[in-house]
Amino acid sequence: MVYAFVNVNGMTSEPARGPLAAALAGDEQAFRALVEPYQAELHAYCYRMLASAHDADDVMQEVLLRAWRGLRGFEGRSSLRTWLYRIATNTSLNALERRSRRELPVDYGPANPAGGSIPEPIAESTWLEPYPHAALADGRAAPEARYEQRESVELAFIAGLQHLPGNQRAALILREVLGFSARETAAALETSEASVNSALQRARRTVEERLPDRSQQATLRALGDERLTAVVEGYMDALERGDVDAVVALLSEDATWSMPPMPGWFGGLDAIAGFLRDHAFRERWRHLAMGANGQPAVGCYAWREATGRYEAAVVDVLTLRDDRIAAITAFVDPEIFARFGLPPALEGPGGPAD
């Protein structure tokens, strides 16, 4: 059977052929082949909308199910990619109606006092989650895109997006991250081009007020690979030696250290030094360099006497200012290690820190 698309005016377009025709005929393998090239970028889009890799997983399952069930409604008047983004946009907007805004601890409440205790964790659904940037394409998605792909998953950018209503969030991402036209964005949001342009202007103002003067991508380019490696390796070495002074020497004067899902955070060198002495350095650590959200990051493994191994514990995402670390966002969640392709444990001798 040959399938033809019928548009809203009743005009019949070109018949579907190849994998699309097979998918329309009920071939699930052909459908998977059709959508597979777009799944990684769609997942990253859902992450930007929701600030949660886990939520993006859930939404993507629903997107693919809707696309499979609604494939015969694809009229061929736009590309398959644009049609899939329309489904992903609607599904993400529906998800946002059921979810609270995700944040970082530094946006959630005041800093802990120097020498203060670490607050108890609160609901995981409150917090922005890290995202592996290894699957993201380098460079720009399209000539019209304003933000680089890695720049658009930096922690500051994702946190800024969460202060936007859903329609503004989608308009900004579609237009300035992915390079969609105003017409394509209006179709995805089921609104007018004028409404898209208005939402985009408001979104720009809100997000840019919350972004630092320099993106992490610009900072990393200025720093260069050799100096960046020295900073990250120096950080890991200082942590493994339990050397408070060495860690502090790598930080900016106004550095912050936060640990989602704990709501509190430490600000300034004295408070961070106290946290390291009183809490972090009570354990022995090993580390692996990695990347998250377009930024340098470190997988942290804590020694566990019961297993005789260093077990996955925390992912530290580093935000740099020049050659200093301005923020450590320590995601305390061993389950996220697998998402970054990190092992669950490291072998090696160790024991309680002296």
Render pLDDT for 185-222 as a digit per residue (tens, 0 to 9).
999 999 999 999 999 999 999 999 999 999 999 999 99
pLDDT at 27 over 80: yes
Q: Tell me, what's the pLDDT at 12?
A: 38
Average pLDDT for the chain: 89
Average pLDDT over every residue of 75-82: 81
At residue 151's C-alpha, the angle toward residues 148 and 154, to 5°, is: 160
Secondary element (H or E) of residue 347? strand 345-347
> If you write DSSP's letter for every residue of 293-340 in order, what string do you get?
TTEEEEEEEEEETTTTEEEEEEEEEEEEETTEEEEEEEE--GGGGGGG
- Structure confidence at residue 141 as a pLDDT band (50, 70, 90): low
Half-sphere exposure of 172 (CA within 13 A, CB side): 25
Cβ atoms of 141 and 285 within 8 Å: the answer is no
Other CB atoms within a 10 A radius of the CB of residue 117 amount to 11
CA gap 244, 183 in Å, rounded: 55
pLDDT at 104: 94
Task: Please tell me the predicted confidence (pLDDT) of residue 112.
Answer: 87
Using alpha carbons, select from 71, 72, 62, 134 the residue that is nearest to residue 98: 62
**pLDDT of the residue at 4:** 41
CB 160 within 8 A of CB 210: yes
Query: What sections of the chain are H helices per DSSP?
Result: 18-24, 28-50, 53-69, 80-97, 105-108, 155-161, 166-172, 182-189, 193-210, 216-223, 225-241, 244-249, 269-278
- pLDDT at position 20: 85
pLDDT at 113: 81
Which one, of 343, 327, 310, 297, lies nearest residue 131 by Cα?
Answer: 297
Cβ–Cβ under 8 Å, residues 116 and 65: no
Give pLDDT, residue 138: 55
What share of the chain has pLDDT > 90, as a percent?
76
Q: Encode pLDDT of 112-128 as tens digits.
A: 887 777 888 887 778 99
Any idea where the domains of the chain sit in the sequence? Answer: 13-210, 217-347
142 burial (CB, 10 Å; 0-12 / 13-18 / 19+) is exposed
Segment 29-49 shows an average pLDDT of 94
CA distance 148 to 70: 32
User: How would residue 5 be classed by pLDDT, with cut points 50, 70 and 90?
Assistant: very low
Predicted pLDDT of residue 212 = 94
pLDDT of residue 136: 74
Please return the burial class of 8, using the count of CB atoms within 10 Å of its CB with bins 0-12, 13-18 and 19+: exposed
- Please report how many Cα atoms fall inside a 13 Å half-sphere around the Cα of residue 203, on the Cβ side: 24
**Whole-number pLDDT of residue 134:** 72
- Interatomic CA distance for residues 340 and 84, integer angstroms: 26
Q: What is the pTM of this model?
A: 0.91
Does 17 have pLDDT greater than 80? no
| pLDDT at residue 168, rounded to an integer | 97
Looking at per-residue pLDDT, the higher value among 277 and 122 belongs to 277
CATH class of 13-210: mainly alpha
- Weakest-pLDDT range from 6-10, 20-24, 182-186: 6-10
The CATH number given to 217-347 is 3.10.450.50
